[in-house]
Amino acid sequence: MTALKYPLASEIAALMKAAETRSAEVHSVDDLEKFRVEFLARKGGIAELFDKLKAVPNDQKPVLGKELNKLRSHVESLFEAMHHRLNSQSKKEEEIPDLTLPGRALPVGTLHPITQTLNDIAAIFTSMGFAVANGPEIEDDYHNFEALNFPPDHPARDMQDTFFISEKVLLRTHTSPVQIRVMEHQQPPIRVIMPGRVYRNEAISARSLSQFHQVEGLYVDRNVTFSELKGTLVAFAKEFYGSNIKYKFRPSFFPFTEPSLEMDITCFICSGKGCPMCKRTGWLEILGAGMVHPNVFRKVGYDSESVTGFAFGMGIERTTVLRHGIPDLRMLLENDVKFLEQF
């Protein structure tokens, strides 16, 4: 062969051999890089031979050029094969899981304690046959006060410091207006609870918030009695706070009920001995209630002679702090995960 006559031919053959020998010694990424520098880099062995090709007589150039190209593509494919092998090796090592490692716990969210309390209250009353209804947080004076028998300029309106939006529109101060809305759209018998957010223009402190939740209850039918009211409330309190609680009813005043009462249970923090939670009285007030005032029935067009009913209302934040012994209402609003995780 003419090509072999020229010394470059044997140099090409020698480099081919060297590349093959060296490739057998490549075991790591570092080895591979040395291989690349030795043969394929800009100043590597192959580039050197291409330089020498320039000095070769013209009649030899095509044959030797072809040999050189062969050398280069052979070494390149050696390189690619080794590169591929090293890569998949390191991937395999990564992919083998260590089955002895303990699992990583995923952060799991929980329902907010206010939501939990609401759900628990709703579960007790729905099991007694109550349905659930909702009403608007932006209310009118009529539903929030007038239809609930708060006379205009009556001091009872001062019991609830109101956020007014305009003269006749306001943020509801309690969930009682939903009673009116339900009765406006439905005839007795009615058995419904009405949870929701309410607003009062009050300074925020450990014991009061300007925005909180209530659950309202309403039961209207023929011959609903005061004993049924008491029975329902006792059944609820025992289910919610525990069957061994002690309770008492105190007379109270609300414009929309007559008679009205408030229900207390013995403080379960101190068992009635007196502590900061119960303001040293041994008793905790848990709700307000009463027999629906005939004026309220008249406002919604019911015959106040033939139907009677009872209503009750309780604060959810208050219920939640009582139930868990939380010292400050504001903790419910801070969204501190360390606090929330405990429920």
Q: Which residues bind ligand DAH (CB under 6 A)?
A: 174, 176, 216, 254, 257, 288-290, 311-313
Kindly compute the dihedral angle of the four CA atoms of residues 322, 323, 328, 334, in this order, to the nearest 10 degrees: -140
- CA 153 to each of CA 15, 146, 157, 159: distance values in angstroms, whole numbers, following the listed order: 107, 11, 7, 12
Nearer to ligand DAH, 135 or 290 (CB): 290
Nearer to ligand DAH, 40 or 159 (CB): 159
List all residues 6 or more positions away from 32 whose beta carbon is below 8 Å from its beta carbon.
Answer: 26, 79, 82, 83, 86
Contact assessment for residue 147 and residue 259, using Cβ atoms and an 8 Å cutoff:
no
Nearer to ligand DAH, 176 or 320 (CB): 176
Rounded CA-CA distance 132/191 in Å is 9
Residue nearest ligand DAH, CB atom distance: 313
Nearer to ligand DAH, 62 or 136 (CB): 136
Contact assessment for residue 296 and residue 216, using Cβ atoms and an 8 Å cutoff:
no
- From the CB of 238, what's the least distance to ligand DAH, in Å? 20
- From the CB of 311, what's the least distance to ligand DAH, in Å? 3
What does the DSSP 8-state code read for residue 167? Answer: S
- Dihedral class, residue 274 (left if φ above 0, else alpha if ψ from -120 to 50, else beta): left
- From the CB of 163, what's the least distance to ligand DAH, in Å? 14
Helix count and strand count (H, E) for the chain: 11, 9
Contact assessment for residue 194 and residue 314, using Cβ atoms and an 8 Å cutoff:
no
Nearer to ligand DAH, 63 or 235 (CB): 235
- From the CB of 273, what's the least distance to ligand DAH, in Å? 28
Nearer to ligand DAH, 141 or 216 (CB): 216
Nearer to ligand DAH, 45 or 290 (CB): 290
Of 41, 49, 43, nearest to 16 (Cα)? Answer: 49
Rounded CA-CA distance 292/178 in Å is 14
Kindly compute the dihedral angle of the four CA atoms of residues 244, 249, 253, 258, in this order, to the nearest 10 degrees: 110
- From the CB of 264, what's the least distance to ligand DAH, in Å? 14
- From the CB of 257, what's the least distance to ligand DAH, in Å? 4
- From the CB of 157, what's the least distance to ligand DAH, in Å? 12
- From the CB of 201, what's the least distance to ligand DAH, in Å? 14
Nearer to ligand DAH, 241 or 312 (CB): 312
